[in-house]
Structure 1
Amino acid sequence: MELLDPAAAYERAVGLAAGRRRALLGITGAPAAGKSTYAEQLTAKLTADRHQVALLPMDGFHLAQSVLEELDQADVKGAPHTFDGYGYVALLRRLKETPDEQIWAPRFDRGIEDSIAASIGIAPDVTLVVTEGNYLLLGEQPWATVRTLLDQCWYVEVPEQLRHERLEARHRRYGRSPEEARARTYGTDERNARLIAASASRADAIVQPA
């Protein structure tokens, strides 16, 4: 597995976007590693350079908050089993196999902590879909199938102290007390982070955003 600097990563993404068939690029990493920001910036730069690119976050496949509460799983929201993983796989397969269709995907809204269906449009002329999320490299199903559908998958890595600081700040920003933010960061989030880190060897490359 190689280490890609941002410039080399961008050139590789350009190569994927310029291919004859639609490509899927996965961006993964632990919570607060910066994968969402990096994926957004990469997509924006590619778009500015006139490539046809769409961004598809995995977070849109969160189970609804009402469902998690009904299942008594709200306290572990964000764990692998709290996503519709099979639905995510089905959409990725559709993006690969039927590129001539207009496809609509769900989007997660942090303001309401829930997903909104059919919020992201992916047009037939899109040649590269950048999809980002925590569990793109896990070895168990349905996540193992995700890796087979991705042309490339990159693991975003930052120092652990920085990642923890970002995570606590994010939880406070969305209404948790300092105590709750710390408990979540070093509890459920840390367990998820270790699971994700254990899958990093399946990535094509590690990216350390500037």
Structure 2
Amino acid sequence: MDDQVNRLVDKIWNKLQLTPPNTRLLIAISGIPGSGKTELALTMSNRINQHHLRLHPQLPQIATHVPMDGYHLTRRQLSAMPDPNYAHSRRGAAFTFDGYKFLTLVQALREPITMDTQSLFAPSFDHAVKDPVDDDIAIPASCRVVFFEGNYLSLDQEPWRDAAALMDELWFVEVEFEVARKRLVRRHLRAGIAGDEGEAERRVQENDLVNGREIVEGRLGVQEVVVSRYDPAWDA
């Protein structure tokens, strides 16, 4: 993974130097649940900021990452669906996200940066209350590189397709389903999503990996495929 990341850091840094100063560089990192896309997005934004701060220590950071978790529909919205039990049980599927709200953010980030440009805000997800928190992630005008990460960012369906078309690059984190399954069972237990290993296993098999197959089978063409192999550091 380190060699892949080093190459990608160099690629994005060099690409940034060729990007007009009034334009942001937008990279969407997708993959099935448990693939490691969050870790990759965090690593990339941190490494780009390190490059920048070595050269310009007095300037603000220029890279950030935006997770798609904040675009989950709320529990109230799921309860208002025609089959609320099914909607809640399938939370995490593409239809349980507000893709059009995400597209609106991407469109705003595509606008040229000017002296009057204000910070934009993305929602986060509060795992304690199990719902999004609006306007919780600031994207200041000084931020030139945005790494998005989420399951459906390269899905060939509306509105994800429209958002993908606005990205400079689409990346996909590839992982074996069995590796993802083990990671997800542990994650659900630690987060309290499941009460025991059996419940966690059922959720992974009946929801997460079902979504994973849709993500893989419906994927758009991407510029980079990053292979995630088993690594205890990525189990979180």
| TM-score for both structures, normalised by structure 2 | 0.83
Residue 23 of structure 1 corresponds to: 25
Shift of 1:137: 1.3
8 A Cα contact 1:5 1:209, kept in partner: no
Of residues 190, 194, 211 in structure 2, which corresponds to 1:192?
211
Verify: 1:39 aligned to 2:46, yes or no. Answer: no
Shift of 1:95: 0.5
Residue 7 of structure 1 corresponds to: 6
Verify: 1:59 aligned to 2:69, yes or no. Answer: yes
Q: Which stretch shows the higher mean deviation, 44-53 or 21-30? A: 44-53
Larger gyration radius, structure 1 or structure 2: 2
8 A Cα contact 2:177 2:209, kept in partner: no
Task: Return the alpha-carbon distance in structure 2 between the equivalents of residues 11 and 66 of structure 1.
Answer: 44
Q: 1:60-209 counterparts in 2 under 5 A?
A: 60-71=70-81, 72=84, 73-99=87-113, 100-175=117-192, 176=194, 177-200=196-219, 202-209=221-228
Q: Tell me the percent identity.
A: 29
Shift of 1:201: 5.0
Go from structure 1 to structure 2 and tell me whether the alpha carbon gap of 1:142 and 1:131 turns closer, same or farther (over 3 Å shift): same
Shift of 1:98: 4.6
Instruction: Output the aligned Cα RMSD.
Output: 1.6
Shift of 1:209: 4.7
Task: Return the alpha-carbon distance in structure 2 between the equivalents of residues 49 and 200 of structure 1.
Answer: 32
Task: Return the alpha-carbon distance in structure 1 between the equivalents of residues 24 and 180 of structure 2.
Answer: 33
Higher relative contact order (CA 8 A, sep 6+): 1
- What is the number of residues matched between the two proteins? 207
List runs of 5+ in structure 1 lacking aligned partners: none
Question: What letter matches 2:153 in structure 1?
Answer: L
Task: Return the alpha-carbon distance in structure 2 between the equivalents of residues 184 and 60 of structure 1.
Answer: 21
Task: Return the alpha-carbon distance in structure 2 between the equivalents of residues 15 and 200 of structure 1.
Answer: 27
8 A Cα contact 1:25 1:129, kept in partner: yes
| TM-score for both structures, normalised by structure 1 | 0.92
8 A Cα contact 2:5 2:44, kept in partner: no
Shift of 1:178: 0.9
Task: Return the alpha-carbon distance in structure 1 between the equivalents of residues 43 and 37 of structure 2.
Answer: 10
